[in-house]
């Protein structure tokens, strides 16, 4: 995978463009927000996250979908359980992933952040393939956007406390942060 800073799109990953984005109010990209998602909740490899981010979710397929049918959301990236990386929005654009949010007293995190969704739940461990893909992708993003320092990588729960819990207690922050500090083999 290789990020093209001029377009904000990664080469070597699946592109699944979402209509749920708009222009950033400034060119600043200085925060990375880690999320988790599965649709229906706790079910994986259904293709429903992609449909949701493209406003194509069939609400008749599962009772849970009715409650989210009016939402218009996206993230820049999704990392599936097998490590497949899907990009929905150019990094240069504002994806609608963090919602009402604040980082270090600054509101509206979507304005200056990138969002990565991990296919999963708060309680289930993420896969080795997901960590490997997340580490590789994060390194690409940090190289292109030096404002994303180690201190400026957080969970959705950190920017929307009380409202969001993801990526949840099953996400191994120590493993992720330790691997980012080592330039050799991915852990």
Per the structure, the count of domains in the chain is 1
What band does 99 get if pLDDT is binned at 50, 70 and 90?
Answer: very high
User: 35 in a domain, yes or no?
Assistant: yes
Task: With beta carbons less than 8 A apart as the criterion, state whether 76 and 88 touch.
Answer: yes
Tokens standing for 29?
Answer: 């990209």
Catalytic site residue 61? no
Catalytic residue among 66, 80, 107, 117: 117
Residues facing residue 79 across a β-bridge: 85, 118
Of 136, 145, 144, 146, nearest to 180 (Cα)? 136
User: 187 in a domain, yes or no?
Assistant: no
State which residues form the domain around 85.
2-182
Please state the separation of Cα 169 from the chain's center in Å: 17
Q: Is the pLDDT of residue 15 over 90?
A: yes
Q: Is the pLDDT of residue 64 over 80?
A: yes
Predicted TM-score (pTM) of this structure: 0.96
Q: What is the rounded (10 degree) CA torsion for 166, 92, 22, 133? A: -30
Residue with token string 């990009």: 87
Report the sign of the C-alpha dihedral through residues 33, 146, 14, 53, in that order. Answer: positive
Report how far apart, in Å, the C-alpha atoms of 119 and of each of 7, 8, 150 are: 25, 22, 22
Mean pLDDT of 104-124: 97
Q: What is the pLDDT of residues 27-37, one digit of tens each?
A: 899 999 999 99
User: 72 in a domain, yes or no?
Assistant: yes
What is the pLDDT at residue 182?
A: 79
Of 13, 96, 10, nearest to 53 (Cα)? 96
What band does 187 get if pLDDT is binned at 50, 70 and 90?
Answer: very low
What is the pLDDT at residue 38?
A: 98
Helix extents (H) in the chain: 48-53, 63-68, 128-144, 156-159, 173-181
Q: What is the pLDDT of residues 140-178, one digit of tens each?
A: 999 999 999 999 999 999 999 999 999 999 999 999 999
Task: With beta carbons less than 8 A apart as the criterion, state whether 83 and 14 touch.
Answer: no
Q: What is the CATH number of the domain that holds 74?
A: 3.40.80.10
Residue with token string 């996400």: 171
User: 46 in a domain, yes or no?
Assistant: yes
Q: Is the pLDDT of residue 117 over 90?
A: yes
Tokens standing for 116?
Answer: 């990565």
What band does 186 get if pLDDT is binned at 50, 70 and 90?
Answer: very low
User: 155 in a domain, yes or no?
Assistant: yes
What is the pLDDT at residue 183?
A: 62
Mean pLDDT of 99-117: 97
């Amino acid at each position: 995978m290789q990020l093209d800073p001029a377009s904000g799109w990664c080469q070597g990953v699946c592109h699944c463009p979402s209509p749920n984005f708009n222009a950033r109010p400034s060119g600043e990209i200085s925060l990375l927000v880690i999320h988790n998602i599965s649709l229906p909740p706790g079910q994986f490899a259904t293709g429903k996250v992609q449909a949701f981010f493209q406003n194509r979710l069939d609400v008749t397929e599962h009772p849970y979908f009715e409650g989210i049918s009016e939402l218009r959301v996206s993230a820049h990236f999704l990392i599936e359980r097998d490590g497949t990386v899907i990009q929905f929005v150019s990094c240069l654009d504002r994806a609608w992933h963090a919602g009402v949010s604040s980082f270090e007293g600054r509101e509206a995190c979507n304005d200056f952040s990138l969002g990565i969704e991990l296919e999963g739940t708060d309680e289930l461990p993420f896969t080795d393939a997901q960590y490997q893909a997340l580490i590789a992708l994060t390194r690409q993003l940090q190289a292109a956007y030096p404002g994303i320092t180690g201190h400026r990588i957080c969970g959705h729960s950190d920017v929307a406390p009380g409202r969001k819990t993801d990526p949840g207690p099953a996400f191994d922050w120590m493993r992720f942060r330790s691997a980012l500090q080592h330039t050799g083999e991915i852990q």
